[in-house]
Structure 1
Amino acid sequence: MAYRVAINGYGRIGQSVLRAIYEGGYRDQLEVVAINELSDIETVTYLTRYDTTHGRFPLPVEHNGTELLINGDAIRVLNQPDAAAMPWDEMDVDLVLECSGTFSDRKTAQQHLDSGARKLLFSQPAGVDVDATIIYGFNQQLLASDQSIVAAGSCSTNCIVPVLDLLHRELGIISGVTTTIHSAMNDQPVIDSYHQTDLRLTRSAMHSIIPVNTGLNKGIDRLLPDLAGRFESLHVRVPTINVSLLDISLNVTQTTSATQVNQILRTAAEGPLKGLLGYTEEPHASVDFNRDSRSGVVDGTQTRVSGDNLIKLMCWFDNEWGFANRMLDVAQNWLNCKHN
C-alpha cells in the first residue's frame, strides 16, 4: 500500500517531484493525493502536461475542475494560502513535500502537522531546529521514524557533500572555495524589472551572468562539521534554463595528482555511490545532463592539481531532476523507517 503524499507549492521542484514519482519508479510507494498551489487548475494542468525543460508528460493529464487526473489517479488541487487551514487530516496525509520555497522554519512547518500531516520534508535548506538535514548517499542513516520535520538540503549540497566527504577522508581538506554556476531561476525577470530588492536580481536573466548570494558554505559547515569554517562560496546565475555546475577548489594535506583524485571519485561512482554520483571523461556540455537523475557527475577531463596540494574539480548536476529524485529517495526511506 502506497503512502499518501501532498505537494505544497507547484513550481519547478514541485512539478519535477510529481513527474519523478511517475517516471522514476516511486509511484508504487508514494501516491500524490493533493497539490496545493495558488494558481488555477487549468494552469496547473497545462504546466503538468507540457514542460519546456523536461518535455511532455508521458501519461495522460486532464482535470475535472477540482482534481488533476493522471493516468486514472485523481489528485485534489487546493488553493490554500494558510498552512494552518490545510485539510491534511481529512485526507489522511502521511507526508507533505514542502516545495513552495516560501518558508524554511519549523514553526510554519508545524502548522502542516497540526493540520493533520504526519511528516513534512523541505525541498530546501531549513532552520537548524529541524529534526535532520539529509543528503541521500551521505547521511540517510540518520532518518528515524519518530522524526516529523526533515530537510533534503539543496541541489548544490546534494552534489558537493558526497564529493567533499570522499576527498576529505582520502586526502584531508584544509580549506576550499566553491563557485556554483547555476541556471536561471524564477526569482529573476526575463527583462530588467522591479522584481527583487537585490538589485542584481532586477536584471534580465537571459542577458547576463549575475552574481547572487549563497549559503552553500553554511550548509557544508552543518553537514560536515569537521570542515566547519574552512569554506567560502560564490554563486552566479547564467542564461540557461536547467543544469548547473559546481567549480570546486580544495587545498589538501596529502600530496596528490589529478589521476589520484579522479580514481577516488571514479571508484565511488562505480561502487558505493553508483546511481548517486557519476564520473565521466567524455567532452560534455551542460545540456547533456538534462534529466540526469544523479546528484552530481564529476567531469574528470577538468580535474587539475597545482603544486601537488591544490585541487580544482568540476561537477555537473541537473538542479531540478537530480534534486527531485534525491528528495523522493529521502521521502521513501524515511516513510519506510521501522518504528522505534
Structure 2
Amino acid sequence: MLKPKRLAINGYGRIGRCFLRALLESPVAHNLQVVAINEPANLESMAYLTRYDSTHGRFPGLVEAVDGQLLIDNRAIRVSHARTPEEVRWGDIDLIVECSGAYGRRSELSRFLDAGCPRLLLSHPGASADDVDATIIAGINQDSLNGNERLVSAASCTTNAIVPLLDLLDREVGIEQALLSTLHSVMNDQPLIDGYHHDDLRRTRSAMQSIIPVSTGLARGVERLLPQLAGRVQAKAIRVPTTNVSAIDLTLSTQRPVSAHSINALLANAARGPLKQFVAYSEAAHASIDFNHDPHSAIVDGSQTRTAGTHLVNLFVWFDNEWGFANRMLEVADHWSHHWPTNPT
C-alpha cells in the first residue's frame, strides 16, 4: 500500500479553496492529501471561508481552526502565514499547488524549489513557455508528463475550456481563423466601487456596475498548446457583473463545409465519448447560474450554434471558471503524481 502524496497549497483564495474542496470530493483523495497551506490571512478567516462559500455553498464536512491548524473532518492541515517562499518549511511536501498568482517567471518560481519543495503546479500560465517545464491541459496532453518536470502550469480556466474544442474542430473540420470573446465573471483584481486597484484604468471601475473590457493572453495560451494554430487565433475578454460561471463566444472559419447540425452532432458525440470527462453538451434554455459548481471544462450550448454560409460557424460555450478549473488542476496533479517515486507505508 502506498502513502498518499503530500500536497501544500500556497495562496488560499478562490482557486486554493476550490482545489481543496474538489480534492475532498474526489475519488483521487486516496492518492493526494493536502497537509499544509500557506496563506497570509488569519486562520479564523481561512476556516470561516472554507466553511461558508457564497458561490459553492456550505462545506459538506466539519471545519475547525485549532492550535494553529485547519481541521477538515478531524484531519489536521498545518497552516503558515508567510509572504515569501523562503519563510515556509516545505521539506516534507511532494508538490506545492501555487494558487496565489504572484509568481510567474522561472526565477520567481524557483524560489519554492530552492526552499525545499521538489515540484510546483501553477494555477495560472507561466509568464512565457520557457518559464515552466510543461503547460498541461487535462484531456489533451497530460500523457506528456514523465515525472521529471519540476515546474508545471495547468494553464487557465479559459484555456482549459477552449483548447479541447479547438483541437477537436481543427482535426475534424479544419480551422482557418478563430475569434474568441470571453465573457468572464468578476475577479478579485477589480474593485466593488471605483478605486485605485490596477494600472489598467478599466479595472479601476466598479466590477458590479459595468461590463468591462480587459486584456487577455488567451490567444497566446491557445497557440502554446496548439502550435498548428499559430497566427490564426485572436481573443478578447470582457468582465461581466456576475460572481461565477463564464462563457466564450467562438467564431470560426473552417476549411471544410459545415452546418449547425453537423457541428452540433460532432460536439455532442465528443461529449458522450472521448471528451466526456471534460466537455458537456446541452440544447436546453440555459442561464449561466445553471453551471455553477459544474466540473466540466466546457459546456457547449448547442441552442446557440449559428452558421453563415458553409464555412463560418459561431459557438457559445459555458464554463465554471472556478470549479471546472480546480478539477482540471486536481487531475493534472493526480496524473503527474503517478510518475513520481513511490512512498511505501
**Alignment TM-score > 0.5, same fold:** yes
Task: Map Cα deviations across residues 39-78 of structure 1 (whole Å, 9 max, x no partner).
Answer: 1111111111110000111110001131000001101111
Partner of 1:112: 112
Deviation at 1:275, TM superposition (A): 1.8
Runs of 4+ off more than 4 Å: none
Q: Which of the residues 292, 298, 301 maps onto 1:299? A: 301
- 1:281 pairs with 2:274: no
Partner of 1:186: 188
Deviation at 1:156, TM superposition (A): 0.3
Partner of 1:124: 124
Cα–Cα, structure 1 residues 310 and 23, in superposed 2: closer, same or farther, change >3 Å?
A: same
TM-score, with structure 2 as normaliser: 0.96
Deviation at 1:30, TM superposition (A): 1.1
- Counterparts in 2 of 1:55-134, with a 5 A limit? 55-89=57-91, 92-126=92-126, 127-129=128-130, 130-134=132-136
Task: Return the alpha-carbon distance in structure 2 between the equivalents of residues 58 and 295 of structure 1.
Answer: 23
- Counterparts in 2 of 1:200-219, with a 5 A limit? 200-219=202-221
Task: Return the alpha-carbon distance in structure 2 between the equivalents of residues 198 and 32 of structure 1.
Answer: 36
Gapped regions of structure 1 (runs ≥ 5): none
Other structure's SS at 2:239 match: strand
Other structure's SS at 1:35 match: strand
Task: Return the alpha-carbon distance in structure 2 between the equivalents of residues 104 and 262 of structure 1.
Answer: 38
- Counterparts in 2 of 1:1-340, with a 5 A limit? 1-89=3-91, 92-126=92-126, 127-129=128-130, 130-337=132-339
CA contact (8 A) 1:86 1:112 kept: no
Task: Name the aligned partner's letter for residue 121 of structure 2.
Answer: L
Deviation at 1:128, TM superposition (A): 1.3
Task: Return the alpha-carbon distance in structure 1 between the equivalents of residues 270 and 172 of structure 2.
Answer: 12
Q: How many residues are aligned here?
A: 337
Task: Return the alpha-carbon distance in structure 1 between the equivalents of residues 277 and 173 of structure 2.
Answer: 24
TM-score, with structure 1 as normaliser: 0.97
CA contact (8 A) 1:8 1:14 kept: yes
Deviation at 1:25, TM superposition (A): 2.6
Task: Return the alpha-carbon distance in structure 1 between the equivalents of residues 270 and 47 of structure 2.
Answer: 40
Gapped regions of structure 2 (runs ≥ 5): none
Task: Return the alpha-carbon distance in structure 2 between the equivalents of residues 119 and 172 of structure 1.
Answer: 37
> Over the residues paired in the alignment, what is the CA RMSD in angstroms?
1.0
